[in-house]
Amino acid sequence: MQNSFSESYKNAGVDVTAGYKSIELIKKHIDRTKTQGMLEGIGGFGGLFALPKNECCGKTSEPVLVSGTDGVGTKLKIAMLMDKHDTVGIDCVAMCVNDIICAGAKPLFFLDYIALGKNKPEKVEQIVAGVAEGCVQALCALVGGETAEHPGMMEEDEYDIAGFSVGIVEKSKILNKINVKKGDVIISLASSGVHSNGFSLTRKVFEIDSKKDILNKYFEELGKTLGEELLTPTKIYVKSILTLLEEVQIKSICHITGGGFYENIPRAFSENYGALIKKSTIETPSIFKIISDTGKIPQRDMFNTYNMGVGLCVFVSQENADKTLRFLKEKGENAAIIGEICESFSGVKIE
């Protein structure tokens, strides 16, 4: 690679040597994510991963691969305006692996794709450091990725990141929404804040694109600046859920992402049922009240856009509710019973 250099390509806006420097800088971060199945480091044309034998249960097992892909969305604008890039990688991993665990699957490996107006190796290192941290939290390996310069398509300081993850679950243990019945309990796992959804609305509410100094405003209710609050990375629930699955019979799980309660919760049960959510049981972080008050956003729109303090919902029978709640709290999760499954309506009711 040392002999790979094109003056003509550099003059067109792409410096391949910057890409090589980026690779050198991120290697130490990737090394943090090594797991049993990771066969080699970065540099090849494809990431190699061997399914660990202990992930499957003998000759009669039926391992199923579960995949998820997502990005960080316009939360990246906040990172760019604040010139802070070491947390959005966590968001990218979280958005993928939190989806995978909704099937009851364990994430195995992750790949990222970073497009930049100009490859600045130190910035790439910050981004990938966040990705690596997310992989460590999710117990998966960062087996590869791609960094691409897009001069002429993106401004020099702009970038986008997307990710892809694969997990594994025994076929007989895949969580299936048809198992959710009337009377089942909905238990929430608290979010760490806004996570990675609703940022187009959030940016509009605070007029962030034209008044970026608002990000430096300190809010007593938050105990930090608005920018610091908004860049809080998405919580990763992998460890807690994987251990919970070994202790309690979980019927279904949903990840509260884009579309909030009204779109995501019904994905976890059959159409002939409904979810009754008790708003008073939800511990909603102050940032959501600030957004609602500032933008004069009605309650339904808030619950249809944001997670409102609920990152994940676990569905269990009434007899398993107390055990589930106790176990999650022992694992450090802020968990609460926020609702139940009903038969008299479909969709979601919040009261």
pLDDT confidence of residue 135 = 97
Q: What is the mean pLDDT of residues 28-36?
A: 72
For the chain, the residue count is 351
Q: Is the pLDDT of residue 239 over 80?
A: yes
Q: Is the pLDDT of residue 263 over 80?
A: yes
Q: Is the pLDDT of residue 8 over 70?
A: no
Q: Is the pLDDT of residue 32 over 70?
A: yes
pLDDT confidence of residue 199 = 97
Residue with more model confidence, 151 or 59: 151
pLDDT confidence of residue 14 = 52
Question: pLDDT tens-digit profile of 99-130?
Answer: 999 999 999 999 999 999 998 989 999 999 99
pLDDT confidence of residue 26 = 65
Quick one: pLDDT band at residue 58, thresholds 50, 70, 90?
Answer: very low
Question: pLDDT tens-digit profile of 120-169?
Answer: 989 999 999 999 999 999 999 999 889 999 999 999 999 999 999 999 99
pLDDT confidence of residue 191 = 98
- Among candidate residues 140, 32, 28, 162, the one with its CA nearest the CA of residue 88: 162
The phi, psi pair for 29, rounded to 5°, reads -75, -40
Q: Which residues pair with 252 in a beta bridge?
A: 315
Distance separating alpha carbons of residues 347 and 259, to the nearest angstrom: 13
Residue whose pair of structure tokens reads 């420097």 in the numeric block:
21
pLDDT confidence of residue 17 = 62
Q: Which residues pair with 144 in a beta bridge?
A: 111
Question: pLDDT tens-digit profile of 312-339?
Answer: 999 999 999 999 999 999 999 999 999 9
Average pLDDT, the chain: 90
Residue whose pair of structure tokens reads 């660990």 in the numeric block:
52
Q: What is the mean pLDDT of residues 50-55?
A: 70
Quick one: pLDDT band at residue 54, thresholds 50, 70, 90?
Answer: low
Quick one: pLDDT band at residue 19, thresholds 50, 70, 90?
Answer: low
pLDDT confidence of residue 23 = 67
Sign of CA dihedral 1, 35, 25, 123: positive
Q: What is the CA radius of gyration of the chain?
A: 21
